[in-house]
Amino acid sequence: MSNSARWVVCAGCGRQVNAAQTPVFYDFESGKSLCQACHQGSGRKTIKRRKWASVLRIAFGVLFFMVFFDEIGSDPSTAFTSLIFGAALLIWQFWPWIKKAFAKSRQQAEVKRSVAAEAEKVKVCPHCGAPGTGSTCTYCGMPLK
């Protein structure tokens, strides 16, 4: 029997759990895995801590941006520092959504490129045998395959 790691993300607290070493519980109603702490109910503290952490990151990020706009004319070094801290906190909070948006746009661009490449392929008309690009033959008007 091999001890290969099988990592599962807990649906309750978001922690990665090695299912080969620690018990993981499967919730059949939601179809997701739970770590032992969330299964026993103590994972709710972790969820509350994560919610508070996200609220604090957003609040302090906005606060640092307000300091940036207040200090931009009087003290540029303080303004620059508050801009860096505010941006870092907000990016840290919203990074999963930003990453998902980048992946989605990258996937859409790949689909567009593959559609454009397919449209530019040289096809042969089944009716007259003339080579062409696009969806219809330029000589006889029949659809290209």
Q: Is 34 helix (H, G, I), strand (E, B) or coil?
A: strand
pLDDT, tens digit, for every residue of 43-67? 556 666 677 888 899 999 999 999 9
pLDDT surpassing 70 at residue 68: yes
pLDDT greater than 60 at residue 1: no
Sorted by sequence, the CB contacts under 8 Å of residue 116 that are 6+ apart come out as none
The pLDDT of residue 131: 83
Contact 135, 145 (CB under 8 A): no
Question: Which fold, 1-41?
Answer: Wheat Germ Agglutinin (Isolectin 2); domain 1 (3.30.60)
The mean pLDDT of 87-108, rounded to a whole number, is 89
Q: Residue 22: how many CB atoms within 10 A of its CB?
A: 10
DSSP bridge pairs for 33: 26
Give the pLDDT confidence score for residue 29 in this predicted structure: 67
Q: Which pTM does this prediction carry?
A: 0.46
Q: What is the pLDDT of residue 45?
A: 61
- Asked if the model's pLDDT at residue 101 lies above 80, the reply is yes
Using alpha carbons, select from 65, 67, 71 the residue that is nearest to residue 87: 65
pLDDT at res. 141:
83
Are 35 and 46 in contact by the 8 Å Cβ rule? The answer is: no
Q: Which of 5, 14, 1, 23 is nearest to 51 (CA)?
A: 14
